[in-house]
Amino acid sequence: MEDVKCATQEIRTQTVQDLYNQILHLRSTALSDNSIMVRQRKLRLLQRSSFYLEIRVDEMPAAAEGEQPLDNAVSSLTDERRLQRAMALGRTQVKLLLTVMGQLYEVITRSCRELEAFIVKYKQGLVDSDMVASVQQKTQQALQHVHDFDTRLTRNCGPLNLQNQLAASTANLQTLKLSALLSFKAPVTFDQVKSRVTSNSVHLFWEVEHSSSKELNQMFEIHIENCHPTLADEAKLIYACKSYELLIDVLEPDRNYKFSVRRVHASNLLYGLWMDSINLKTLDISK
């Protein structure tokens, strides 16, 4: 009988030791502090991204990089009411995606705190069977949440499951099929290191966040606001351009300006009008 008790105790001890080692491994890999920070940056990036509804004609080549998905040719083939329903569905899906990913991130960070608490209890010798069972379950749940977070964007961005075809129901278009896809573009941010200001001009540079290449044929809006305008000043100016830099030479010396950049609004935009802003002061020529 005593031998059975000893064997049972050894099994329990080994189970606790295995769980402890598993948690240490997770805290250095999938649930490490660095991995958590990477997911936090991904979530913040998506929260500031622009999401679009792309309409494509089935069995035709995809739109070229930077080409407007809802151009006049494709728009003329769609039924307007069905298109608006697809836009509403896409907008709902984007909001759901961002909400779920935010919740998953919170659950993952909470799981890390709970696993850290187990490590402390283990070192203090305060682990019991109930705690082991609970932490084993939480560990499996944490791994599932990590997998869900890491794959959620891929699963949610792509073809929308529409109940009705988007093509207008006319005789010559009965065989035409249109597909609706959910896509997103990362936000643009100013390059504050390269941007320069003089007494009457500013040379602004911006880039797509977390991207090493520049998207082709993209339109951007630059908003300029004089923070303390006089009666003779233009309080606000707006420029549109396709490049990733802009030189503006109509500023006044010794003035504070606020510069903002964003993607130009598109008719197929579902969500996201985030703007990046910087404040710069023109040089005082009297000094």
Q: Tokens 């509403």 sit at which residue?
A: 88
Is 224 in contact with 233 (CB distance < 8 Å)?
Answer: no
Mean pLDDT value across residues 80-98: 90
* % residues pLDDT > 90 (the chain): 60
Model confidence pLDDT, tens digit, residues 143-192: 999 999 999 999 888 888 876 667 666 544 455 677 889 999 999 999 99
Domains (range + CATH), the chain: 2-183 (no CATH), 186-281 (2.60.40.10)
- The rounded distance, in Å, linking the Cα atoms of 98 and 152 is 10
Average pLDDT over residues 45-74: 69
* Alpha-carbon dihedral sign for residues 153, 154, 155, 161: positive
Instruction: Report residue 257's pLDDT band, with 50, 70 and 90 as the boundaries.
Output: very high
Q: Evaluate whether 239 touches 202 at the Cβ level (below 8 Å).
A: no
CA angle 125, 138, 24 (to 5 degrees): 55
Alpha-helical (H) ranges within the chain are 2-28, 33-47, 72-75, 80-123, 129-156
Distance CA 2, CA 9 (A): 11
Closest CA to 22 of 149, 128, 137, 148: 137
The tens digit of pLDDT for each residue in 129-142 reads: 889 999 999 999 99
Per-residue pLDDT at 86 exceeds 70: yes
